[in-house]
Structure 1
Amino acid sequence: MALWAVVSTLTAVAKDFKGLLLTRLFLGVTEAPFYPGALYMLAMFYTRQEIATRISILFTANICGAAFAGLIAIGVFQMENAAGLAGWRWLFIIQGVITFIVSAASAFVLPDEPQPTRRLTAEERQLAHSRVANATVELQENTSTWRGLLEASRDPRLWVPIFIQHFHISASNFKAFF
């Protein structure tokens, strides 16, 4: 998240179309791990029965953020020529700085995993770990990641959520192209 914030802020210094394309490329590279990382963090603390609600909250927050982004941008664009910068440059600077601050705070607040966190007592850490461990499917011996991926891709129950996710992403990000 901190790298994304830095790249987003640096977008404000792009001088031409080529510079904007390069910053967009690096923005995509730094943004790509966000959702897998967020889902991984949720999966470490919540059981399969609990995680659907948490993922729904994550996706809903994304959509609500996108809904208000335009309104925030209109306000920021009013800063046109403040300190000699265009309004769109201010937009990238402000979102980058805010994201960097949130990222720095998250480094101290979010635990890496349930076991070593100091925010929980020893009993709470053990409970958090055992809840998820008991709800997790056992890893079979002599099974590779690729074999597991192939096995999962053959399961027809997987394809419905894949299509739902695809349509969700398409619908919620449609605004980015128009």
Structure 2
Amino acid sequence: MNTIVTSREAILKACCSLVMEQGLKALNIRAVAQKCGISIGAVYHYFPSKEALISSAVQEIWRLLFHMGNETPASGSFPEYVGRLFETVQEGMALYPHFFTLHSLAFSETEKEEARDVMARSFVQVKAGMLSVLCEDSRVTPKAFSEAFPREDFVEFVFESLLSLLMTQSGSCSVLTEVIHRVIY
């Protein structure tokens, strides 16, 4: 076995690879050490427990799912951004089958709250990106938002709708993007 110290990022990359190949159930300290060609102790240097390793791996996969090749469209169009985000997550779901709907099962009952926190932290970043694109979309009508209907609430609605479409494995988000068009332009 190679005892060369590796990085946290390399370990997380190996975790993602294991999840891709075998699912979350295959993720454990021994399997990750073997995948990296390092000792079990080297994994424990970066992750004090199996739960910490799984939590970090889940957070990394959420990040990858929502950011794989995800760039702001040249036009700065919010509906186009939402459409691309939908496609990006679909591509990621193909790489990580069942992760989207079953990730919380990798955690014990006492760790379910941590799983929700990991997911929530990942989603906060995605929603912040969506809000930024919405604010920069020059085509949005000035009367689209108000104190009673703030941009942040609209982004939350769009994000929850997007998640619902992904969870039900919808093949398209065209109705959602059409609703967005009708509301903001």
TM-score (normalised: structure 2): 0.32
Kindly name which structure, 1 or 2, has the bigger radius of gyration based on alpha carbons.
1
TM-score (normalised: structure 1): 0.33
> Could you say which structure has the greater relative contact order, defined with CA pairs below 8 angstroms and 6 or more residues apart?
1
Greater helix content: 1
